Amino acid sequence: MVAAPLAAVAFRAGGVRLSTPDLAALRFTLLQAGLSALISVALAVPVAKALARRRFPLRGLLITLMGAPFLLPVIVAVIGLITVFGRSGWVNAGLATLGLPGFSIYGLHGVVIAHVFLNLPLAVRMILQAWVSVPSERFRLAASLGFRPRDIARHIERPMLASVLPGALATVFAICLTSFAVALTLGGGPRATTLELAIYQAIRFEFDLGDAAGLSLIQTGIGAFAALLAWRLASAPGFGAGLDRALPLPAPAGWRRLADAGWLLLAAAFLLLPLLALILRGLPGLAELPPSLWGASLRSVLVALISTLVTVAAGLTLALGVARSRSRRMELNAVLPLAVSGLVLGTGLFLIARPFASPGQLALPVTVLVNAVMALPFVYRLLITDARALEADYGRLAASLDLQGVARLRYLTLPRLARPLGFAAGVAAALSMGDLGVIALFASGQEATLPLLVQQLMGAYRTEAAAAAALVLITLSFGLFWIFDAGGRHVQAR
Amino acid sequence: MRPMRPFLAACLASLPLAAAAETPVLTVMTYDSFTTEWGPGPAVEKAFEEVCGCDLRFVTGGDGAALLARLQLEGAATEADVVLGLDNNLTAQARATGLFAPHGEAAPTGLPVAFEDDLFLPWDWGWFAFVYDRTKTAMPPEDFRALGDSDLKIVIQDPRSSTPGLGLLMWVKAAYGDRAPEIWTGLSDNILTVTPGWSEAYGLFLGGEADMVLSYTTSPAYHRLAEKDDSKDWAEFAEGHYLQIEVAGILASSKQPELAKEFIAFTQSPAFQSVIPETNWMYPATEIALPEGFETHRPAKSLLLTADEALEARGPALAEWQASLGQ
């Protein structure tokens, strides 16, 4: 799915031209993606730890809400961030009242802040999931052996983190590799040129498809390298199976309690304030929404549901297959779509599909397909840890009982993977809702999805209506995410 | 039995399905915002279908540059008969594709400069300008140098991904030629950020992030007429203002050249032109009356590079832009 469109673009161009890429663009791309990945994951560890071992009112709601930034359409997220951190934003207004110098979000640090905002939620959830899938018996054993927090960190938490961090790093890195709107809008000028922008330039400005295919190949290659590296570094945790008893994790008191509370407050403020800003911005325009909003909403929800079904089915198959065979090539396949340029993917699909039907008829099917492919890496990444544990802990038992096919799926796989499956389905649905994707290349005017409508309103001076449509979009994607996520947790908790 | 036959035939002919199959379909490829419910598309479609006895169908894709890229991908296999929405910075490249046929119309006279092109016919136009908020900026700069010397923060668009961004590149080039890099260096500390497209930049300006934004002289008219808000204005620059001229062209591959020509002629009619100011927020190409309050002042001088000059200047101007702002 990734290779075919790329090949189509290259074929049309009569070959791939590996021109020396703009070295500055390559350097900036690697720098911002590397920093974004490191900082996102470094911040995610203490936040996930605090969430894993503390119990407090509304904890479940906080976990769900903190996932929201990841689900925002990029440009909407940027608007929310600028409302809070921008030149005339809340933070600067606060600093000015205190008589402190202002803070500028434009530059490399702004790009990194935005990427951390977008990807911290994903990193937290990946690490949190690894934390709660350590059987509680291990922590009880640690407690009965008189382990102090430092010993727990050494014997339980470090091996657990070693199994999950490389994958988390590679995933965030690959997402940030293809960054375009964030890097440009917050980067402050041509210094912030990324490879994706160079691809954009090659297709739109120079119509040089060979160059575009070459640049895209470099970009995908870097992503693949990161994925390979991650998988070499990741180790199997090997905690074994437990009795599934939901026991509280040891929650040390004292300064550690305060530190946990501090991390949670900081993360919640960082992630939720821009969301609040978007809600406040969207409310006044709700009355101005055009009638086409309803059709666009319905279309977006349908596209999201179908692509979720496709991608979850594919992701589960892939994850179970990898867990059973430990095949590494399959694993690579699951990470590649992250690092491929959306514009090249769209252009390639356009070239492939063009001889068979008119682009207008293909707009929605192609959008479903591309959304499913783009969400596959996340679904896979969210399922693989638990799929491996499932295979290691229950594979032999299931084999000895000759549990196969539908029965195995029904009695073993689905119940034990319900939590990650629900979360993965929620992420896939929300990503598909929010993605402008390739619809802009194919749409024929009548088939706008919600993100496209937001863009059209913004492009027609209707800023208030655009903010309101963005609010509807956020609400719907978050609603879909919540239904799937809560559903999964409910099933597994039974 | 015999008298039944003409009757049956009449019945069949009056069936909507059969009728639809006989109505010719004219496919017009245009940019995305043209066909939205608040754009010119719906009114244009209704007015043209009343006179042509045909079905007018729009296909859209992104903005002007995306249209050209798509045409280059599709070549002569394109389903479009007419393309509406390329601009003067793209016509040289569009001409080189060899996909267009002459339109055969006389050039419209509502433009501030003469624009003659046998393949591409103007249907609306506007001047690029920096738009500001009068309640916040009392004395706007009067040229690029004054802007560069000021403390004002501006938002511009990237020329690699946006047509207004490319327009600004040409504006500075047309006004300053070889001294363009000096101007860009002067502006570098004023540029708050560079956005991928017009809508992000304008959104940042309206949100109060920047003092000025690169847009059109007609942008304040939107706020004045549609929102009854008189606070926005554009700053007149002594160098003159660069023009964006949007053009239509007939594809040589069209299977309905007559109908396509009819549509091209229709773009010059009052029915089409009168819709433009308050839907596309640009100037109409013909000399028709502007809506009340649409224009308060106009630039004394217009700048325009010819299509070939623009194409030739593009690459070097982009390199200068990157070098001057990239440090």
| CATH number for position A48 | 1.10.3720.10
- List the single best residue of B193, B209, B215, B232 to mutate versus A (max A Cβ within 10 A): B193
**What is the predicted pLDDT for the residue at B266?**
96
Give the range of the structural domain holding residue A381, as residue numbers without chain letter: 3-493
- List the single best residue of A179, A186, A205 to mutate versus B (max B Cβ within 10 A): A205
Q: What span, in angstroms and rounded, lies between the C-alpha atoms of A207 and A201?
A: 8
In this complex, which of B33, B93, B204 lies closest to A459 when CB atoms are compared?
B33
Q: What span, in angstroms and rounded, lies between the C-alpha atoms of B203 and A77?
A: 13
Q: What span, in angstroms and rounded, lies between the C-alpha atoms of B191 and B152?
A: 9
Q: Contact B209/A88, CB-based, under 8 Å?
A: yes
In this complex, which of A292, A355, A443 lies closest to B60 when CB atoms are compared?
A443
Question: How large is the average pLDDT for residues B66-86?
Answer: 88
How far is B41 from chain A, CA to nearest CA, in Å?
Answer: 10
Judged against a pLDDT cut of 90, whether residue B232 lies above it is answered with yes
Give residue A463's identity as a one-letter amino acid code: T
* DSSP category for residue B136: T
**What is the predicted pLDDT for the residue at B222?**
95
**Total number of domains constituting chain A:** 1
CB-based contact, A187 to chain B, within 8 Å: yes
ipTM attached to this prediction: 0.82
Judged against a pLDDT cut of 90, whether residue B301 lies above it is answered with yes
Q: How big is chain A by its Cα radius of gyration, in Å? A: 23
Window 321-380 of A: residues touching B by CB (8 A cutoff) are 347, 350-351, 354-355, 358-360
CB-based contact, A204 to chain B, within 8 Å: yes
Q: What is the pLDDT of residues A98-142, one digit of tens each?
A: 888 888 888 899 999 999 999 999 899 888 888 877 777 777 777
CB-based contact, B185 to chain A, within 8 Å: no
Question: Residues with Cβ < 8 Å from A95, sequence gap 6 or more?
Answer: A101, A102, A103
How far is A387 from chain B, CA to nearest CA, in Å?
Answer: 41
Q: What is the percent of chain A with per-residue pLDDT over 70, rounded to a whole number? A: 88
Q: What span, in angstroms and rounded, lies between the C-alpha atoms of B129 and A102?
A: 29
How far is B62 from chain A, CA to nearest CA, in Å?
Answer: 6
Assigned token pair, A224: 């693949």
CB-based contact, A102 to chain B, within 8 Å: no
Window 265-284 of B: residues touching A by CB (8 A cutoff) are 281
User: B13 falls in which pLDDT band (50, 70, 90)?
Assistant: very low
Q: DSSP string spanning B168-221? A: HHHHHHHHHGGGHHHHHHHHTTTEEEEESSHHHHHHHHHTTS-SEEEEETTHHH
Enumerate the H helices of chain B as residue ranges: 4-14, 16-22, 41-52, 64-74, 91-96, 144-149, 163-176, 180-187, 198-206, 219-226, 257-266, 270-273, 276-279, 307-325
CB-based contact, B254 to chain A, within 8 Å: no
Window 60-119 of B: residues touching A by CB (8 A cutoff) are 60-62, 65-66, 68-70, 72-74, 77, 79, 93
Judged against a pLDDT cut of 50, whether residue B6 lies above it is answered with no
How far is B195 from chain A, CA to nearest CA, in Å?
Answer: 5
User: B12 falls in which pLDDT band (50, 70, 90)?
Assistant: very low
More confident residue, A269 or B102: B102
Residue A96 main-chain phi, psi, to 5 deg: -65, -40
Query: Taking the C-alpha atoms of A233, A236, A237 and A242 in order, what is their torsion angle to the nearest 10 degrees?
Result: 160
Which residue of B lies nearest to A87 if distances are taken between CA atoms? B209
Collect all residues of chain A within an 8 Å Cβ-Cβ radius of residue B188.
189
Which residue of A lies nearest to B69 if distances are taken between CA atoms? A204
Strands B212-216 and B121-133: antiparallel
How far is B259 from chain A, CA to nearest CA, in Å?
Answer: 21
Q: DSSP string spanning A283-341? A: GGGGGG--THHHHHHHHHHHHHHHHHHHHHHHHHHHHHHHHHH--HHHHHHTTHHHHS-
Look-up of token digits 């009982």: A401
Where do the domains of chain B lie, and which CATH numbers do they carry? Answer: 4-125+243-284 (3.40.190.10), 127-242+296-325 (3.40.190.10)
CB-based contact, B45 to chain A, within 8 Å: no
Assign B126 to helix, strand or coil: strand
Q: What span, in angstroms and rounded, lies between the C-alpha atoms of A407 and A423?
A: 23
More confident residue, B39 or A157: B39
Task: Please give the mean pLDDT across all residues of chain B.
Answer: 90
Q: Flag residues of chain A having pLDDT under 50.
A: none
Q: What is the pLDDT of residues A209-260, one digit of tens each?
A: 888 888 888 888 888 888 788 777 776 666 666 656 566 666 677 778 888 8
Question: Residues with Cβ < 8 Å from A451, sequence gap 6 or more?
Answer: A73, A300, A433, A434, A435, A436, A437, A439, A473
Stated pTM of the model: 0.85
CB-based contact, A127 to chain B, within 8 Å: no
Judged against a pLDDT cut of 50, whether residue B226 lies above it is answered with yes
Cα atoms in the 13 Å half-sphere on the side-chain side of A17: 13
In this complex, which of A82, A197, A459 lies closest to B199 when CB atoms are compared?
A459
Judged against a pLDDT cut of 60, whether residue B19 lies above it is answered with no
